[in-house]
Amino acid sequence: MEIFRKKNSEKGQIMVIGILSIAVLLVIGGTLVFVAVNDRIQSVRSEQATKAFYVADAGIEYAIYRLRSSSATFIASNTSIPNTDGTFDVSVSTTDIVNRYQIASTGHYPDASEARVNRNISVKIARDPPAQVFDYSYFINNWGWYWGRDITANGDVRSNGRFDFVNGPRVNGHIYAGLEIDDHGTPVRGTGGQADHQHQYQEKVDMPNLQDISYYQTKAINESGSITIDGSVLIDGVYGDDMGETGNLVLIGTSPDPIELNGTVVVTGDLVIKGKVIGQGTIYVGRNAYIADNIDYKNSPPSPRPVSETASVCDNWVQANKDKDLFCVAAKENIIMGDYTDTSGTEQWYAHNWLFSMGTEDVGQDGIPDTDDTGEGDGLFTPVYEDIDGDGVFDDNYNWSDIQTQTDITNFTNVPAGVTSFGDISSLTINKVEGLYYTNHAFAGRTGNAMVFNGTIVSKDEAIIYRNNITFNYDERANSRYHGDPNRFVDLGLPSVERMEVVEWEETD
């Protein structure tokens, strides 16, 4: 994190104070000798003012440091900084926006003198600001590919690499890509086909890294997040951290007994999930998440999208639906959709045929495959820029071990009676999935006919094989632009890139 410092205005203020004081003293003293002496005093005071400024800044850093480990507000007075003569007073208070704090710091230099100089800095800090990757109906780090006329995205789409469109799929929204946008000779249909809706060679948008899942475990425990079904608590903060918990869990919701979410929870191993969901929250998963069958909300918004893309219409839609069910599944490894064990015949899973050509970390300095930049495809692993997931080891192309559950389904907790294989619990006819899905690796799967996603998919790699047609409806409630708006704020506890972000900085009198 880099604090934004207004260095120029700081210098300007010191100079203005200096000139004013000299003018006043000239009137009083009236001699050049006095001015010379005063110049020396001024230069000392100006040095003191600079030191007081950095002491005030240290107070801000101290407050941010304390906020990292605790959300409690506090006041610290007359705090001295080792090996300096400066002290600061700092106070942290909450604001009307969730997870946003006001910090006020006064630096004094030197600490105990009557002639000490005071400087005041005021900042606003956002804790766990939502990542911008959730602003799209479909966000892929490496390669966005819409191959097929029967693909429709309602909402913006983005890739940090290329974005290929084949046979004129439909995008009602803007298209962004870190590299080229290529329609392969058939224009994209919908507003996304317009030149002013296509944005190539855009700056990379960073994906959060879930390598340190323990951060989210602490959060889940502090917030007392939970998941219950039919009154029984299946996750109390973290599932898989206590003796006797396998870490691998099955969650199946039905209309009378939905999966009931309450805030942030963590499953340390694999999660298999399907059925009805109620409430709001984020499920962090230590390995893979499996969408075994349809997943939908008990209380969905009455329409998946606002009636138009106009900002005020979106605002009103979010306002009206902010308390309806909304959830995120965020997996450290992969999200696998459908019955991956079915690999024969015309109805087979098939996604592995695409997936197995993806995933290598031998991608060079830009972190994106197929760009032929320095270090890409050289057979060497250069961790400083190629360890994309930050696990310290080289990740090769995906293979079956990335897709399969880490233990037999019969060893999972809460597996229904009679289930003896993954195929018994999963399907290849999935046609409706609601929610926000985030993975640091691959989203791979097979859908049934007329597939609808209401939410978003955010993934490094994507291998979705659809049948017939597929529609993505972006859930506007996930958009980071609502994060600064207390009226429309949804605190889902989504993955973040930064822990603490300075959203406002000013020096005050």
Give the residue, chosen from 72, 380, 384, 417, that forms a contact with Ca ion under the rule CB under 5 A. 380
Closest to Ca ion by CB, 377 or 484: 377
Residue 240 and residue 34: Cα distance in Å, rounded?
75
One of 223, 391, 491, 507 touching Ca ion (CB under 5 A) = 391
For Ca ion (CB under 5 A), the number of binding residues is 15
186/399 with CB nearer Ca ion: 399
Which residues in the 312-331 window bind Ca ion by CB under 5 A? Answer: none
Question: Does the footprint of Ca ion cover residue 387 (CB under 5 A)?
Answer: yes
Binding mask 339-378 for Ca ion (x = CB under 5 A): -----------------------xxx-x-x--x-x-xx-x
Out of 395, 424, 498, 501, name the contact with Ca ion by CB under 5 A. 395
The residue (of 148 and 375) whose beta carbon lies closer to Ca ion is 375
* Shorter beta-carbon distance to Ca ion: residue 171 or 363: 363
Measured distance CA(335)–CA(113) in Å, rounded: 62
CB atoms within 10 A of CB 256: 8
Beta strands across the sheet bearing 87-94? 74-80, 87-94, 100-109, 117-127, 500-508
Which string of b and e fits 476-505 if b means at least 16 CB within 10 Å? bbbbeebbeeeebbbbbbbbbbeebbbbeb
315, 389, 424, 501: residue in contact with Ca ion (rule CB under 5 A): 389
CB of residue 331 to Ca ion, shortest distance in Å:
16
Residue 366 or 462: the one with the smaller Cβ distance to Ca ion is 366
CB of 143 to Ca ion, least distance (A): 11
The least CB distance from residue 374 to Ca ion, in Å, is 8
223 forms part of the interface with Ca ion (CB under 5 A):
no
Q: Specify the residue, 288 or 454, whose C-beta has the smaller distance to Ca ion.
A: 288
Q: Quick check: 115 binds Ca ion (CB under 5 A)? A: no
| Closest approach of Ca ion to the CB of residue 162, in Å | 11
Cβ atoms of residues 374 and 387 within 8 Å: no
Shortest Å distance, C-beta 383 to Ca ion: 8
Q: CB of residue 500 vs Ca ion: minimum separation in angstroms?
A: 26
Residue 46 near residue 14 (C-beta atoms within 8 A): yes
Strands 117-127 and 500-508: antiparallel
Find tokens 């890139």 and name the residue: 497
| Interacting residues with Ca ion between 251 and 310 (CB under 5 A) | none
Give me the least distance between CB of 352 and Ca ion, in Å please.
Answer: 20
Looking at the Cβ atoms of 389 and 507, the one nearer to Ca ion is 389
CA angle 7, 8, 11 (to 5 degrees): 90
Stretch that binds Ca ion, among 68-76, 289-297, 379-387, 464-472 (CB under 5 A): 379-387
Q: How far is the CB of 288 from Ca ion (least distance, A)?
A: 16
Q: Give whole-number Cα distances, 242 to 123, 332, 354, 492, in Å.
A: 40, 20, 38, 25
In the complex, minimum distance from the CB of residue 369 to Ca ion, in angstroms, rounded to a whole number: 6
Cα gap 259→295, rounded to integer Å: 10
Residue whose CB is less far from Ca ion, 339 or 362: 362
Q: Residue 442: which H helix or E strand, with range? A: strand 432-474
Q: Which is nearer to Ca ion, 270 or 366 (CB)?
A: 366
Separation between Cα atoms, residue 498 and residue 206, nearest integer Å: 10
Residue 325 contacts by C-beta under 8 Å, 6 or more apart in sequence? Answer: 261, 277, 278, 279, 280, 297, 298, 299, 300, 434
Strands 289-297 and 271-285: parallel
The least distance separating Ca ion from the CB of residue 366, rounded to whole angstroms, comes to: 5
Q: Please state, in angstroms and rounded to a whole number, the distance separating the CA atoms of residues 223 and 236.
A: 10
368 by Cβ neighbours in 10 Å (0-12 / 13-18 / 19+) ranks as: buried
Closer CB to Ca ion, residue 181 or residue 363? 363
Strand 238-239 and strand 232-236: the pairing is: unpaired
Residues that bind Ca ion (CB under 5 A): 362-364, 366, 368, 371, 373, 375-376, 378, 380, 387, 389, 391, 395
